[in-house]
Amino acid sequence: MLRKSLVSLLAASTLMMAADKLNGAGATFPAPLYYDWAYTYEKTTGTKVNYQSIGSGGGIKQVKSRIVDFGASDEPLQSDVLKKDKLMQFPAAIGSIVVVYNIPGIKDNEIKLKNEIVGDIFLGKITKWNDPKIKADNPNVNLPDKEITVVHRSDGSGTTFNFTYYLSEVNKEWKEKVGTGKAVDWPVGLGGKGNEGVTNYVKQTPFSIGYVEQAYKRQNNLSGATVTTASGKWVEATEDNAKASAKYAKWSKDGDFYQILALQPGDNSYPIVAGTFILLPEEKADMNKDVVKFFDNSFKNGDKSAIELGYIPLPEETKNLIRSYWKDKGIY
């Protein structure tokens, strides 16, 4: 009896000690989502989770030097890197990247591009919209005899990392000549800063092609190309198709959820999806508990707003796997 009350007293005191202010920094892509989750969380619990988008690289650096309570990155870190810096990692949401184009008179999803063809266009091998290779898959579309303007990111970005990873997987020449990275040596095209920069260039430049996060495509009414699944079936960049992809992801606690989601199996799996990750400093157990409480609450109540903002919530099984990861680490 005494022990029990002591335990509850202890529990109460840690509850009182719980920080009502948390600071996080990192990836730009999930910032509006975390903002939204934090807004609701503050209204219901009073805890203020202040997340600022300073870029994935900045987020990793600030959590490494323990300046923020949690970091966020679009590029997952591998377990050995995490171990070296004494960090824990788990995904928080999923996003999809859309190949967008601006061809006057041609609507959303009207153009079909095989994954390999997307690579050829970004390589500069296919230079005109009415190239026979594009025409073959789009017999009923009136493709113009115009030069393709390629638009890419000028800054380092997690979006570029995931997009170039996808290109490397689907196009051998891309893998050999350019490869995967947050910033790569683009063979052709002009660079825009941030998703918003690429969005604006594509919007203003007729006959251009680019790649942006789903939310930017939707909010700006850009046209997105239909691409192919890992097995070669046509697939549109819809919420359901991205969700289908998320289901196949083989997350695992052992690798601290290191997983690049592109090209999942399945007939409806949209190929260019990516997770966005949270990094926690291992030694700050109390702080981590507070951070985990916030994400647990958001996993429970935040799916609806995630979809509204253009993100894909994690599947239930993944959330439970993350919860058991937290338990293993003693912070849940």
Q: Which residues bind another protein (CB under 8 A)?
A: 21, 23, 25, 28, 31-32, 35-36, 38-39, 42, 48, 50-54, 65-68, 194-196, 199, 213, 215-216, 218-220, 305, 308-310
- In whole angstroms, the minimum distance from the beta carbon of 246 to another protein comes to 21
- How far are the Cα atoms of 99, 124, 271, 292 from residue 221, in angstroms, in the given order? 13, 26, 21, 36
Measured from the CB atom, is 49 or 230 closer to another protein? 49
Measured from the CB atom, is 23 or 268 closer to another protein? 23
Length of the chain (residues): 332
Report residue 147 as tokens: 């030069």
183-207 as b/e, with b when 16 or more CB fall inside 10 Å?
ebebeebbebebbebbbbbbbeeee
- In whole angstroms, the minimum distance from the beta carbon of 76 to another protein comes to 23
Residues 6+ apart with CB under 8 A from 187: 122, 123, 124, 177, 178
- In whole angstroms, the minimum distance from the beta carbon of 89 to another protein comes to 22
- In whole angstroms, the minimum distance from the beta carbon of 197 to another protein comes to 8
Measured from the CB atom, is 21 or 233 closer to another protein? 21
- In whole angstroms, the minimum distance from the beta carbon of 175 to another protein comes to 30
How many other β-carbons are positioned within 10 Å of the β-carbon of residue 57? 16
The full DSSP string for 261-272 is -SS-SSTT--S-
Residues 6+ apart with CB under 8 A from 27: 53, 55, 56, 59, 72, 73, 74, 158, 276
- In whole angstroms, the minimum distance from the beta carbon of 220 to another protein comes to 7
Measured from the CB atom, is 140 or 221 closer to another protein? 221
Give the strand pairing for 208-213 and 149-153. parallel
Q: How far apart are CA 186 and CA 70, in angstroms?
A: 33
Residues 6+ apart with CB under 8 A from 87: 63, 64, 71, 77, 279, 280, 281, 282
Measured from the CB atom, is 25 or 121 closer to another protein? 25
Burial class (CB in 10 A: 0-12, 13-18, 19+), 211: buried
Rg (CA), the chain: 21
Burial class (CB in 10 A: 0-12, 13-18, 19+), 289: middle
Measured from the CB atom, is 215 or 263 closer to another protein? 215
Helix (H) / strand (E) element for 305: namely helix 303-309
Measured from the CB atom, is 25 or 202 closer to another protein? 25
- In whole angstroms, the minimum distance from the beta carbon of 61 to another protein comes to 10
Measured from the CB atom, is 158 or 310 closer to another protein? 310
- In whole angstroms, the minimum distance from the beta carbon of 141 to another protein comes to 27
Measured from the CB atom, is 108 or 169 closer to another protein? 108
Residues 6+ apart with CB under 8 A from 83: none
- In whole angstroms, the minimum distance from the beta carbon of 115 to another protein comes to 25
